Structure 1
Amino acid sequence: MKVKDYSYETFPRYTVNIDGALELKGNKENLRCRMKDVEYQKGCMIRFLFPNTILDEERKYPLVIHVQGSGWYKQDMNDHIFDFMPIVKAGYVYAIIEYHGAPEYKYPTQVDDVIKAIEYLKENYQNYPIDFKHVFLSGDSSGGHIALLVALQERYNFKGIIDLYGVTNFMTFNNWYSKYDWHEERNVTDFLGSLDIELLMKASPMTYLKENMSLPPFLILHGDKDHVVPITQSIELYEKLKEYHYDVIFGRVHDADHGRSIFYNEDVYQTIIAFLDKHQ
């Protein structure tokens, strides 16, 4: 038998009893997650995570541009595919940005790469299920650091900024416990080229935060047992944003280390989704 002019809604459902079969419910509103990689410049890709449903192939979704952390070295672009899936299934596109890694490429290459990726998305969003009127910027760890440097340049009208345990101030990094002394760590030197004080300040997002800037709302999340980036880095940013009367939410994730499974849990997902839903 043949059905002409097939669509999902008009195609007949098989309703004849099947002896002994389990009868399971399908969910026509359920979103699944699919992935697509696009090279936005030579050697660097955007890894898209798209929501997808059978009923609405033409739907456009708000976009979260996420800068993948890596200690500024070459990124593992598979690191957050599953971490962000619950947010994608809530109806958001993730565009995970790859940048050129240290030590071959030094600051500000990584900042410039993210700006190039954003420009690519601005020029090509029509090719993807993206509503570019609703764009957020996010980043974790070193990616959070780069995302903050981009956000505080005020070049783009983001709906919100999500900082996940990012570095905010090299000058105060050693003010709380960490297994690293960043005056001695090789990856900071590999990233910056030196530990010159002026360079450390120039590469610190806190340097750029001023009063009366045109900034979107911030969501900052950090584990209180982070052994890599001290939670005080996020607290410093949070308190300064509050002092300047910006819209900011800080979430302390109890017992969470630097990301990982304790951090990426239902409370964190619901907090991020609520922030995105409120400000999209």
Structure 2
Amino acid sequence: MEKFPYFEGWYLKHQADGKMIAFIPAVHAGITGEWEASVQVITGEGSWCVSYPVSECRIDKKNFRIKMGDNLFSKKGIRVNIKSKELTIQGHVSYGPFTRLKKDIMGPFRLLPFLECNHGVVSMRHRAEGTLTINGTAIEMKNGLGYIETDWGHSFPKEYVWTQCLLTGKQEGSIMLSAADVPLWGRSFFGTISAAYIGGHMYRMATYLGARITHYSESEVLVRQGKMHLKVTKLGERSFGLYAPQKGSMCRIIRESPVCRVRYQMWNGQESILDITDNCASFESVRAQRT
């Protein structure tokens, strides 16, 4: 196990016919060094968290294979068997080939071992086919899509915005953006990373590439990098509580809108690259407490 406090989790999103379900398997240890494991489940109807003994976890990061209890999350797909007082999920989903980034989303910041939170993109977009039965209701994944990312460190940022959307229709692809307060060497700065996979082309924007945030609020973010502009606007939401790490312990509650109406606009100079409003986007926004 890693030195504590520490957390590591994977966000596996599945989408088909306006339905969305995401799983977050994670391991975590607070300042006392007591290791725990959990799987959080998020749908358009709610969120749940199920705990597992660490002894029932097997993690192979190199080959992307996480086994937690009777649940398996891998590059080939997922097999789920979750039973709790409030939630029962059974079924499997098979994955197509992953769409990977050619370079680490963190850029040179990946070399800093002391960041409070690191981020990685496992797959921007892949096929997802199968059936999951949730509390007796079957969700058919026909021509479904998936997205996977990961976070690790000891704490989520005190202030951040994150969004992800699997684009369908004329502008097929996938987009993710994160903007967060990053403490570094006794100070902090508001940094950003984003990747947009549109029409087979990958667009990257990041602080280490010269991107800067020109506007930021709980519902809107504007990023500029040279001639590139990205604007994300949240138009509606229905949010649910999720557990997030604070010094390794999953004791912090954040709010995520898993099926949210969001508009994404991207320009390269005067050329419009993307302009789409999607009702199935995911969106999180956490503002720091002001004194």
Same fold (TM over 0.5): no
- Greater strand share, 1 or 2? 2
- Greater helix share, 1 or 2? 1
Tell me the TM-score normalized by structure 2: 0.29
Tell me the TM-score normalized by structure 1: 0.29
Bigger radius of gyration among the two: 1
